[in-house]
Amino acid sequence: MAYGASFGTLMILLTVVQPLVNAASQNVNQELSNILNELWKLDKNRLSPGTDYTISLQGKAGYVTHGSTYARDFASKPLFSYVDENKLSTITTYSCFMKLLDNYVMATGTAERITPEEVTENNQFLDAILETEVMKRAHKYLVEKRQARASQRDFKTDLYEMWFRLYHRDRNGGADSSGFEHVFVGETKFGREIMGLHNWVQFYMEEKNKHLDYKGYKASRNDVPYADDHVLNTQFSWHGLIKPVGSAFIGVSPEFEMAIFTILFLTSTAKSSTAVVNLDEYQLELVVYRHGRSIGTAYPKLLSSNNRHL
């Protein structure tokens, strides 16, 4: 397996940093909120904060100019104080997911070479998540909306196209990116900018391997996060580059993230799709950019937590 991106999330953005938004001014998509809350309740593989993992929020990160390679560190310790790796290795969807994190070259502009073994790993991951109640419900919803084919085999084929098909992100070189690589693993652009990297398992593994340095949380003045929150906006460096603001779910299963972003992708044909949703105790703006028939990027942007928007 090619090891160029190492292990590397928590977080989610395309290539630009977007300011935090006043949640009170947002129009909530109630239908989408309803199905996502169903999926939230079905996500039995979501890990529990304080039990399965512990995070240390520390200080609030400062402002960083886009493209800067320096950020003042307001967190002397890692974000993740503890993660039950035994639990990750024994839950099938996580164990299959983690095998995919070293299958990519970090830099865009460098063609990816996917081996037969890596294709097998991609298929094993999709098979695993399709057996979960989360993905079964997401598939049923999409079929009801006439946005997905009824056969699970056909749906898996479409998921592969959405998430694992290689395409050109950089015009130079060969096919150098995929939706999965961008969102869950992370990439770099011109050796100067972090793109994607919106998954908490990747964030933890890269932090553990000393490739990623958490700089602090990002939040509005009156919306300081709690250590048991399942969504965070953060600032971090990765292989010496800075992500001024990245956002991601924490503790949720990979099938949950795949399900919600697949729903948003398939229920819209716009180049850029956004939706404000109330999910559990959080208000989020979900963002998906498409790259033809595939995911370009996808991430949740935390607007409000702990029901402060109510």
Residues annotated as part of the active site: 182, 198, 243
Q: Which DSSP string do the residues of 78-107 spell out, in sequence order?
A: -SEEEE-HHHHHHSHHHHHHHTTTTSS-SB
Between CA 60 and CA 79 the distance in angstroms is: 12
CB hemisphere CA count around 79 (13 angstroms): 36
Which stretches of the chain are assigned E, i.e. beta strand? Answer: 53-55, 80-83, 187-189, 193-195, 212-217, 231-238, 241-249, 272-279, 282-291, 294-304
For residue 64, what is the DSSP state? -
Closest by CA position to 10, among listed 41, 74, 55, 40 = 55
Between CA 289 and CA 229 the distance in angstroms is: 25
Cβ-proximal residues to 25 (8 Å cutoff; 6+ apart), any chain = none
288 close to 156: Cβ distance less than 8 angstroms: no
Phi/psi at 271 (nearest 5 deg)? -60, -40
Angle, helices 254-266 vs 116-130, to 10°: value is: 90
